[in-house]
């Protein structure tokens, strides 16, 4: 999720672009901030930290899958050798 600082900065910049009296600008900034928070909240976005954590978990899972595939291949080779030895007797 986006940080409150990001939303506050964005709403302040948007409200500063509109030439209004100071009181109205602050009220507008607050409304824009509320709108941005609700909009970003409904998008179910990940923060950079959450994204990086998910990427790291995926990389670990991919590494483990490769290790398991290698082990499975080695076991298959041993099984073929064992079957070859038992049929040649």
- Looking at the fold, whether 41 and 2 belong to one and the same domain comes out as yes
What pLDDT band is residue 75 in, cutting at 50, 70 and 90?
Answer: very high
- Looking at the fold, whether 40 and 74 belong to one and the same domain comes out as no
Question: 39-71: per-residue pLDDT in tens?
Answer: 877 787 778 898 999 999 999 999 999 999 999
pLDDT computed for residue 34 by the predictor: 86
- Looking at the fold, whether 75 and 40 belong to one and the same domain comes out as no
What pLDDT band is residue 32 in, cutting at 50, 70 and 90?
Answer: confident
pLDDT of residue 86 exceeding 60, the answer is yes
- Looking at the fold, whether 52 and 40 belong to one and the same domain comes out as no
pTM of the model: 0.50
pLDDT of residue 8 exceeding 60, the answer is yes
Whether the CA torsion 52, 53, 57, 58 is positive or negative: it is: negative
Measured CA to CA, the distance from residue 43 to residue 56 in angstroms comes to 23
Phi, psi (5° rounding) for residue 33?
Answer: -60, -45
- Looking at the fold, whether 51 and 87 belong to one and the same domain comes out as yes
- Looking at the fold, whether 4 and 30 belong to one and the same domain comes out as yes
Measured CA to CA, the distance from residue 30 to residue 28 in angstroms comes to 5
- Looking at the fold, whether 41 and 7 belong to one and the same domain comes out as yes
Domain of 21? 1-45
């Amino acid at each position: 999720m986006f940080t409150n600082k990001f939303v506050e900065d964005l709403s302040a910049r948007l409200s500063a672009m509109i030439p209004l009296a100071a009181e109205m600008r602050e009220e507008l900034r607050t409304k824009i901030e509320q709108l941005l928070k609700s909009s970003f909240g409904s998008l179910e976005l990940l923060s950079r930290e959450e994204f990086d954590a998910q990427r790291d978990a995926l990389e670990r899972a991919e590494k483990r899958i490769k290790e398991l595939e290698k082990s499975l291949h080695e076991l298959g080779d041993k099984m073929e050798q064992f079957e070859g030895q038992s049929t040649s007797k």
